[in-house]
A and B are shown apart, each in its own frame.
Chain A
Amino acid sequence: DVKVTQSSRYLVKRTGEKVFLECVQDMDHENMFWYRQDPGLGLRLIYFSYDVKMKEKGDIPEGYSVSREKKERFSLILESASTNQTSMYLCASSSLGTGSDNYGYTFGSGTRLTVV
């Protein structure tokens, strides 16, 4: 069974802390993504990566950075956590296939981060 694993299900951090959210996939997928999910706003893309050491900004990258040192691991970093970063964070991965090979994304279970 293929998996995307996020290291923490719930996190509570203080304002100003540096926060690391970890994501690991075991499907040898090239692409990995970080989204945040907020009620009424759906899923908004923060950053994505097509390859090791490669990263691209998504729609809402401000206040975040990422790291992809190994193909299977994609980390999201909040440099200085703020209360408006309280959210559900979802990691996803996908292969490079197109057309019928494109099975969409496989998602992790999410990390609910609360910044106090």
Chain B
Amino acid sequence: AQSVSQHNHHVILSEAASLELGCNYSYGGTVNLFWYVQYPGQHLQLLLKYFSGDPLVKGIKGFEAEFIKSKFSFNLRKPSVQWSDTAEYFCAVNPINAGNMLTFGGGTRLMVKP
């Protein structure tokens, strides 16, 4: 069975620090990739997505992610975090032969200290 691994369960950063959250998946075929964010008390929202083309994807709020096919990875990055980025981040994978099914990682809880 396919799986999605987020290696960092909790990350604590100071404002202006750079962020990189890891995401690896086990599926060997073609995939669509997503990052979702859940701010405290709010519902999950789509941060960015990759389908094809340029492996460096830019999303909302200054986030970006790079798809490295050879490493089965889709890491999320932001050059300079803000206190308002405090949230839980979920990576998700959709194999293209699985319809609209998403498999989620376990989530990474980010806390940014002001």
Chain A residues within CB distance 8 Å of chain B: 4, 31, 35, 40-44, 48, 50, 90, 92, 94-100, 102-105, 107-110
Contacts and interface: CB of A to CB of B under 8 A. Distances in A.
A95 B106 CA distance: 24
Contacts of B63: none
A96 B42 contact: no
Contacts of A100: 51-52
A99 B52 contact: yes
A43 B90 contact: yes
Contacts of B96: 98-99
B73 interface: no
A2 B106 CA distance: 26
B9 interface: yes
A104 B34 contact: yes
A96 B100 contact: yes
